Structure 1
Amino acid sequence: MYRRQLLTTATLGTAAALLLPGRTAWAAAKVRLDAAKIAKYKVRLPIPGAMPAVSRKGDTDVYRIAVRQLRRQVLPPGMPKTTVWGYGAIGHSASFGYPACTIEATVDRPVQVTWANELYDKDGHFRPHLFAVDPTLHWANPAGGKDGRDMGATFTKTPGPYKGPVPIVTHVHGAHTGEESDGHPSAWTLPAAKNLPKGYAATGTLHDVYRDRAKQQGSTWEAGTTVCRYTNDQEPGTLWYHDHSLGMTRLNVYAGPVGFYLLRGGDTDLPAGVLPGPAPEPGDKDGTDHYELPLIIQDRSFHTDGSLYYPGSRAEFFDHFSGPYVPDSDMAPMWNPGFAGDTMVVNGATWPRVPVEPRRYRLRLLNACNSRTLILKIASAATGARPAPAAVPFWQIGADGGYLAKPVRLDQLLLASGERADVIVDFSGVYAGTPLFLINEGPDGPFAGGQLGTAYQAADPATTGQVLRFDVQSLKGKDTTVPADQLSLPKVAASPASTVTRRVMLDELDSAVLTGVGGRVAMLGTVSTDRKQKPLHWHDDATETPTAGDTETWEILNFTDHAHPVHLHQVQFEVLDRNVFLQKPRPAEPTESGRKDTVLTYPGEVTRIKATFDLPGQYVWHCHILEHEDNEMMRPLTVTPRP
């Protein structure tokens, strides 16, 4: 539902007003940077450190973490710096970065985080968004005040982008936590800026509910903050955190605030020394050798002044549709149905290089792209014909929520947006001085499954088909970790028997007003037993309402023409199987034998998952293509208390 074609220039504008009526673009022209002109492998891979804590005493790790606007060297040195947003520990200015430091957590040891929205300048005045916020969507809408927040506004003519203070709410993706700490899209807060416009709602609907509940329990939240508690009562796994504000997640995440949340320890983790390590730890000195590497992979586009490019109108990117919009059609003027950047960024640097020794490494991989599906491979050449032969395999040992049933050898690794993989890569058979390349053979457009060369074409080998370079150097010491093919992984616990089956669906709708105009909205919904489809909006009454303690099977029917990663909050689920409509099921992939919170659903197929919902409260489920999530492809998931 998105295309690779990009305009060579984007029309951008000023922040003269909070809403610029009748304008869908900004005023000052900026020139797009040609990705082919960005030098590759000039910068050593940045390694996010461990997030500094306020306290690790007692039974809880306590953090105070803010999101701020930063200037960082994302492009190679000698090119302009880039304005981004990033998380960091309050009181530790060096910890603020893009991406953020890793929150290191321990199974069954709670973490408490005070999340602060500090998107204001040195004078305390709010910072407007870096990108064009489409106010015609169903979104946070602070300008609507308390009565109009968290819903779509009504316009009589096409508005310009919202330029007011930015809502932020942080979601720890994959966390099993109470509703007040889940990062619900309606639990946002504005920064505690001096110049918040009169009449604006400073907080989202559910933020007020959770703040008042906390106050009744003796806890007072400061303005511009949210206090969350993560019990970490789940398996060790590769979690991550990011913004989740209603109707603008795609824009907020694209600006930069993401980081890993790695959960370790407990009875179901492997003993120290079995897997490669160490990972970055608090207090690490410069030059510390790490054999566990976090890799946050994103696609971005830039202007020649170093600023990030994200399309400010439908006319710029998807299908160049230039209207009519409000009031003569049902098309959103600034929203695009998907986005593919032309530059690969890893840990906040474009096409970095990383020195490795001829030994085993543990890689924690996250696809943090807005829309792009990655198909990763380690090859001996950066360019050349695709598919390329694999030079070194991956051994996948874990997925989103924990370890797999057994290690899986892979020549290529598929990751949809929001998915993670825990892998071992063994460089011990590679001579020192040899360069190897992490390449991407996924498409530059929508992914629908199938074979490379027939069902889809690989990403451009000159740009988005390359990710990073491994530079194999001399071995510094003996590798005493266990070879991946000899690993015995912790047993994956059996999930309870299912007592309820739900049939839900994904679909995309064209304009109901204009003939031949597609990609109006992406939706979820229900399917009846006689296969009647019922697309539903975000604001429609909840239909996914499990009772706390129930285990349910969800049959997810994809009626679109491409794949969608589907994410459920609160739970880590079991992937059961997939089948083409009315045909014999095929089992889950070996890489899905552990617990997942995000599953790729293919077009024309039914994907079945099984989940236990044990915490009552208001949650959500949605497509993790962020552009889809922001325009109706998200639904309430309301877990009701057991009578």
Structure 2
Amino acid sequence: MFTRRTFLKYTGGTVLTLFAVNRFGVPVAIAQIPGGSLDPALVAKFQTPLLIPPVMPKAARFIQMGGKRVDYYEVALRQFSQQILPAGLPATKVWGYGAVAAAGRRGLLLHNAPSLTIEASWNTPVRVKWINDLKDDAGNFLPHLLPVDPTLHWANPPGGSAGRDTRPSFGSTPAPYTGPVPMVTHVHGAVGVGDESDGYAEAWYLPDASDIPADYAREGRWYQFFAGKAQQKFGATWGPGFATCQYPNLNRASTLWYHDHSLGMTRLNVYAGPAGFYIIRGGPAGDAALLDTRFGTPALLPGPAPRENDKFPPNKTYYEIPLAIQDRSFNADGSLFYPDSRAFFDEIAGPFIPDSDIAPLWNPEFFGNMLMVNGSTWPFHTVEQVRYRLRLLNGCQSRFLILDFNAIPGVEVWQIGNEGGFLAAPVNLTADHGNRLLMGLAERVDLIVDFSQVPPGNYVLANVGPDEPFGGGEPDVDFDIADPDSTGQIMQLRVVPALAVDPSTPPQFLQLPAIMPLPEASVTRPLVLLEEMSAFFADAPAEALLGTLAGDPGEAPAAWNKRLWMEPVSENPALGATEVWELYNATGDAHPMHIHEVAFEVIDRQDIFVDEQAETIQLAPGSLPTPAEPWETGFKDTVIAYPGQVTRLRAQFNTPGQFVWHCHIVEHEDNEMMRPYRIGPLQPGQPD
């Protein structure tokens, strides 16, 4: 079989080609792996104008008990066709969120993938009725668009109340699941959110369809418990096919996003489309808190951004734009392609159950052979010779992105924020970091891109990240960059003269809001990232795992203990406690690690020594910590944990309840690289 030094490269045809490195260091094609039947070379680039997501309309605004204003939304997940590929190619059947009620007559009741942006105000709660409307016109459930592997630890509706949220037992390899689809929505990055509103993976629910089999579980193990909490806390009623969640919006002003989080199905559900931006504005760390250091007066960032009730298509120019970058593959009929066999990854075609430990459909990673931005493959956008504010999301499956602005002459790129809001100070990516930007899965960045010195013309924003798992390092030195004819291109920027003088503050003169550091930690918690290899096939990943370490790796080799999703909580911070979490990466790949409910500080990283035979880890002799990168200052909710290193974080745990932490390579998350954690004591009546 193939080692972890094998990797995928996209050929000019309709297949992916698997390569290995021979003893001379030369890539050699060793197998062809079926891909989507639509050849990327046949998809014209830069034909479709960029869609800038409109703002989700509110269904109502009301005053809750205590006098606080609440913005209320009713949002349904539905199936529809969307023109993702350029005109002339077939439309694609996808899923997406959209409002089903609007308070204003101009409210946009539009379903799209990515979905409309929820605009929130700091310290003003948002309440959303999330509706699973994956039904046809007759009220019958719609099956999944993609192949569902029922052998993982997953929602498992066919298991009924006793077998839901388990890894079912099979006597032989089963067919893909084709029943009703679970849904539960997570607002990624939200802090201060009760666990009932966090999108816990076992709080899923099926659509309220007329043909759900009688023996199926209609909701996850935690659904009813959280329904009771929602009723008690804010008077919301849950019912068949929906849940109502409330978000206090206590984050610093920042870019969040929302997406499905169903147990063992996140990779598939999100690939089908349901995701959107969620932007918090205002407050003590909002745009109004920035100063222009030239004059000591309030600074002005590029704008405007889309607003609720704007016309659609818009009749104005936006200078603040959210960009969701995702990778996909397609079939010739326009349908989404996702592997329906483990053989796609490493040619393992069986045996599976009961003769091996390899899941029949799950792939350890997936890399689409086309990039899309805001729901269109390789779009273009016209920009003036002024500054723009771009809020970016890496919404790919397994792909790390390295955005490369070097093909845009005269451009200057500054990063001013990340997932937790504004940085400590602006970072000049052009002058100090080679005009490049690394983005792990689910990371967001807030950029100011200055086109004022760019000659008019058409330019490509490139991607020089790899078409394979990322392990750190430099493009073209430590790894081959993405295919320059396909996944190495993101979108086209068409630069034209400015229509007016740019009033925004140059980023080098921005004074960003002060960052209040977290208290010193009272607990240091060593944790480990693992990859479990098959006992039946050589060098074949069977699952990705998290675990704990026994002992202090700084003193002596510490043994790791693997932890599965089903095992009891092992991370249980006290309410209000500040802890340091040490993420020891014993795998060969980088992992984007996300902790629900908290915004954390990245402290440092340090080299480690991993003894795979003894299953121990210790700090590498003579190694010293290296501080967080300049773009990691302030607060984050997702961090890159590099192989062969420990990544240290500091977080304060202020909201009691049941949450999760996991890798955001969604293929890993869906096969055991996610663990529950609890803040504070057990809750009376919570599920076992």
Q: TM-score range by the shorter chain?
A: over 0.9
* In structure 2, C-alpha distance between the alignment counterparts of 1:371 and 1:99, rounded to whole Å: 18
For residues 515 and 72 of structure 1, do their structure 2 counterparts lie closer, same or farther at Cα, with a shift above 3 Å needed?
closer
Task: Determine if contact 1:378/1:436 at 8 Å carries over to the other structure.
Answer: no
- Matches of 2:8 and 2:255 in 1, distance apart? 30
Alignment correspondent of 1:535? 562
Q: Secondary structure at the match of 1:469?
A: strand
In structure 1, how many angstroms separate the alpha carbons of the residues matched to 2:681 and 2:35?
53
Equivalent-residue separation in structure 1 for 2:131 and 2:529 (angstroms): 34
Q: Secondary structure at the match of 1:95?
A: coil
1:448 is aligned, of 459, 467, 471, to 471
Distance 1:391 1:452 in 2: 22
Q: Number of aligned pairs?
A: 614
2-structure distance, mates of 1:215, 1:401: 30
Q: Quote the residue 1:569 is aligned against.
A: 596
Given the alignment, which residue of 455, 460, 469 partners 1:437? 460
| 1:441-487 residue CA offsets vs partner (Å, 9 max, x unmatched) | 00000111112222101000000000001101121121111001111
State the partner residue of 2:678: 638
Q: Tell me which residue corresponds to 2:45.
A: 40
Give the letter for the 2:442 counterpart. Answer: G
Task: Look up the match of 2:295.
Answer: none
Secondary structure of residue in 1 paired with 2:399: coil
Match of 2:354 among 317, 320, 327: 327
Q: Could you tell me which amino acid in structure 2 is paired with residue 186 of structure 1?
A: E
Q: Supply the AA of the counterpart residue of 1:527.
A: L
Q: Which of 662, 668, 673 lines up with 1:628 in the alignment?
A: 668
SS at 1:261's partner residue? Answer: strand
Within-5 A mapping of 1:95-244: 95-176=110-191, 177-215=193-231, 218-244=235-261
Q: Give the 3 Å change call, closer, same or farther, for CA 304–391 of structure 1 in structure 2.
A: farther
Indicate conservation of the 8 Å contact 2:9/2:467, yes or no.
no
Aligned partner of residue 210 in structure 1, secondary structure: helix
* One-letter amino acid of the structure 2 residue matched with residue 279 of structure 1: A
Give the partner amino acid of 1:412: R
Aligned residue in 2 for 1:343: 370
The equivalent of 1:76 in structure 2 is 86
The letter for the 2-side match of 1:61 is D
Give the one of 378, 392, 411 matched to 1:392: 411
Distance in 2 (alpha carbons) for counterparts of 1:550 and 1:622: 20
Whichever residue aligns with residue 227 of structure 1, its letter is T
In the other structure, the counterpart of 2:27 is none
- Paired residues for 1:134-533 under 5 Å: 134-176=149-191, 177-215=193-231, 218-271=235-288, 274-285=300-311, 286-315=314-343, 317-380=344-407, 391-410=410-429, 411-432=435-456, 434-512=457-535, 514-529=536-551, 530-533=557-560
List runs of 5+ in structure 2 lacking aligned partners: 16-33, 64-68, 103-107, 289-297, 430-434, 552-556, 609-619, 684-688
Contact 2:14 2:35 in 1 (8 A): yes
In the TM superposition, what is the alpha-carbon distance from 1:9 to its structure 2 partner?
Answer: 6.8
Q: Which whole-Å CA distance do the structure 2 matches of 1:194 and 1:282 have between them?
A: 35
TM-score, normalized by length of structure 1? 0.93
DSSP-derived class of the 2:8 partner: coil
Return the alpha-carbon distance in structure 1 between the equivalents of residues 8 and 95 of structure 2: 25
Asked if 2 retains the 8 angstrom alpha-carbon contact of 1:180 and 1:210, the reply is yes
Given that residues 48 and 380 in structure 2 are in contact (C-alpha distance below 8 angstroms), is that contact kept between their aligned partners in structure 1?
Answer: yes
**Aligned-residue CA RMSD in angstroms?**
1.8
- CA drift at 1:528: 1.4
Alpha-carbon separation, structure 1, partners of 2:151 and 2:514: 48
Match of 1:16 in 2: none
Shift of 1:216: 5.0
TM-score, normalisation: structure 2: 0.87
- 1:428 maps to amino acid: S
Structure 1: how far apart are the matches of 2:537 and 2:266?
A: 30
Tell me, in whole angstroms, the C-alpha distance in 2 between the residues paired with 1:363 and 1:451. Answer: 24
> In structure 2, how many angstroms separate the alpha carbons of the residues matched to 1:490 and 1:43?
38
Moved more, 390-399 or 176-185: 390-399
Give the percent of matched residue pairs that are identical in Structure 1 and Structure 2.
Answer: 50
Deviation at 1:391, TM superposition (A): 4.9
For 1:458 and 1:405, how far apart are their aligned partners in 2?
31
Which amino acid in structure 1 is aligned with residue 544 of structure 2? Answer: A
Question: Contact 1:130 / 1:255 at 8 angstroms: preserved in 2?
Answer: yes
Deviation at 1:380, TM superposition (A): 2.7
The Cα shift of 1:517 comes to 4.3
CA distance in 1, matches of 2:95, 2:43: 22
AA in 1 matched with 2:446: D
SS at 1:232 equivalent: coil
Contact 2:586 2:643 in 1 (8 A): yes
CA contact 1:53–1:61 (8 Å) conserved in 2: yes
Aligned twin of 2:28? none
Q: Does the CA contact (< 8 Å) of 1:547 and 1:642 recur in 2? A: no
After superposition, what is the alpha-carbon deviation per residue over 1:469-511, rounded to whole angstroms, capped at 9, x for unaligned?
A: 1101121121111001111000111111100000000010111
Segments of 5+ residues of structure 1 without an aligned counterpart are 11-28, 382-389
Q: Cα offset for 1:263?
A: 0.5
User: Aligned letter for 2:209?
Assistant: A
